[in-house]
Amino acid sequence: MSHQIQIIKPQTGKAFLLNKGQILTVTDPQGQQVSDMVMLNRHDHSEKISSGKTLDFEESILLTAGNFLWSNRSNKMVKIIEDTNGRNDFLLAPCSKETFEIMYDHTGYHPSCLENLTKNLEPFGLTQDDIPTAFNIFMNVQFNEKGKISVLPPTSKPGDFVRFEAMMDLLVCLTACSAEDSNGGTFKPIHYSISDSV
Amino acid sequence: MSHQIQIIKPQTGKAFLLNKGQILTVTDPQGQQVSDMVMLNRHDHSEKISSGKTLDFEESILLTAGNFLWSNRSNKMVKIIEDTNGRNDFLLAPCSKETFEIMYDHTGYHPSCLENLTKNLEPFGLTQDDIPTAFNIFMNVQFNEKGKISVLPPTSKPGDFVRFEAMMDLLVCLTACSAEDSNGGTFKPIHYSISDSV
């Protein structure tokens, strides 16, 4: 299996297969760039990554090395085995055209993670309504004990990465996030690679 | 339209229709009892309540009077118009048989919100995989700024209620939650009523 680095250009996405036991490394090559990640059971797309089940079983809003990401059927999908940045969450939905219209009064076309997840998962038979809340890699979502949420620029530095071990055969989709406020105001690429061992 | 009080017995659930503009009141008659709520667009069940979109648009983990609950298609489903207790969240998935097996080492049958949501929504053509993360009414999920989650007994007193105004025609399912740790160790009923005005 290739260790070749795959490049997700700014404001785009890519879908790919990951076999049980393989290692996926998601890298922020320039720093301060979020990647949304969606995962589905490759053999049954009705089983997919679940924010609610993950927060249940991991008992934490923030997820880093040692945590698992779980499916809606209470199965482990991946283990986070390394995380050089340490700030990922599972709270907010992928940005969509409505995010920009409703929250930022944007008019006209705006690229979005939801569009990029949908576009890249459509060849596998999925539709926009099938896209669950994504795991937000490198996203810097702050919250206080009263629950107030704010999104700050990522703390990730150039070369920071998160490494996942697949616990089942997966269909994965990653984006380089399209939202100004989540990415320190500029859009950078995301890199990933797949290997058979760490 | 009837104001008649409907009773959800302990560790069960009920599904019903709610018209746009109608008012749904969910009451904890004895105190310290959680109710999980799932909502779908009655005319297209692929549109359903979304934790990610709600946290996005409301910018808060805790949701109370003045907040809206949003769908996966970025539409408002209900407005919370009154909340006498003030602690509801949208973090954790409905309890399921795996919750009790994995988190509490329970063996054998255990009633669960996921079973009750599924059983009551099946007559409307839905399956277990269609059930999204539910809105947790009266649930007392605590979290600190590091993201650590803990579930405490509800703060709701006998007669506390949350009142919702429907922003679209809905299919709703409510439970009286089946998890020991979420309900102060005992299982109580949940009451609800529907009216055409407050």
- Average pLDDT over chain A, rounded to an integer: 96
Other Cβ atoms closer than 10 A to A28: 27
Cα separation of A18 and A171, whole Å? 6
Which candidate, A197, A193, A196, A152, places its Cα nearest to that of A174?
Answer: A193
| Sole residue written with tokens 């709610």 | B18
Cα separation of B50 and B77, whole Å? 10
Q: Is residue B177 over pLDDT 80? A: yes
Determine the distance in angstroms separating the CA of A3 from the nearest CA of chain B, rounded to an integer.
33
Other Cβ atoms closer than 10 A to A107: 8
Give whole-number Cα distances, A138 to A31, A75, A195, in Å: 9, 24, 21
Cα separation of A109 and A94, whole Å? 16
Q: Indicate the helix (H) or strand (E) that contains B114.
A: helix B113-121
**The dihedral of CA B161, B14, B110, B93: what is its sign?**
negative
Provide the pLDDT for residue B2.
Answer: 53
| pLDDT (mean) for B133-150 | 95
Q: How confident is the model at residue B175 (pLDDT cuts 50, 70, 90)?
A: very high
B92 with A133: Cβ contact below 8 A: no
Which candidate, A94, A86, A176, places its Cα nearest to that of A140?
Answer: A86
Cα separation of A153 and A179, whole Å? 11
Contact A18, A170 (CB under 8 A): yes
Any idea where the domains of chain A sit in the sequence?
Answer: 6-195
Q: Considering only alpha carbons, which residue of chain B is nearest residue A45?
A: B129
Other Cβ atoms closer than 10 A to B38: 27
Q: How confident is the model at residue A145 (pLDDT cuts 50, 70, 90)?
A: confident
Q: Of A59, A103, A152, which to mutate for an interface test with B (greatest number of B Cβ within 10 Å)?
A: A59
Q: Considering only alpha carbons, which residue of chain B is nearest residue A144?
A: B145
Q: Is residue B48 over pLDDT 60? A: yes
A61 with B94: Cβ contact below 8 A: no
B61 with A143: Cβ contact below 8 A: yes
| pLDDT (mean) for B25-31 | 98
Cα separation of A179 and A183, whole Å? 7
Q: How confident is the model at residue A2 (pLDDT cuts 50, 70, 90)?
A: low
Percentage of the residues of chain B whose pLDDT score is greater than 70: 99
**The dihedral of CA A125, A128, A133, A139: what is its sign?**
positive
| pLDDT (mean) for A59-80 | 98
Q: Tens of pLDDT along B152-166?
A: 999 999 999 999 999
Cα separation of A174 and A33, whole Å? 12
Provide the pLDDT for residue B145.
Answer: 86
Contact B171, B20 (CB under 8 A): no
Provide the pLDDT for residue A197.
Answer: 85
Cα separation of B37 and B177, whole Å? 10
A62 with B146: Cβ contact below 8 A: yes
B129 with A92: Cβ contact below 8 A: no
Q: Tens of pLDDT along A39-57?
A: 999 999 999 999 999 999 9
Strand partners for B142: B150
Cα separation of A127 and A75, whole Å? 23
How much is the ipTM here? Answer: 0.95
Residues of B with CB under 8 A from a CB of A: 46-47, 50-53, 55-57, 59-62, 72-74, 89, 91-94, 96, 98-99, 102-103, 129, 133-134, 143-150
Is residue B57 left, alpha or beta, with left meaning phi > 0 and alpha meaning psi from -120 to 50?
alpha
Contact A12, A168 (CB under 8 A): no
Which candidate, A59, A49, A65, A67, places its Cα nearest to that of A135?
Answer: A49
Q: Is residue B40 over pLDDT 70? A: yes
B91 with A52: Cβ contact below 8 A: yes
Chain A residues with CB under 8 Å of B50 CB are 93, 133
Provide the pLDDT for residue A114.
Answer: 97
The partner residue sitting opposite B143, judged by closest CB among A61, A74, A96, is: A61
| pLDDT (mean) for B134-147 | 95
A92 with B56: Cβ contact below 8 A: yes
B56 with A93: Cβ contact below 8 A: yes
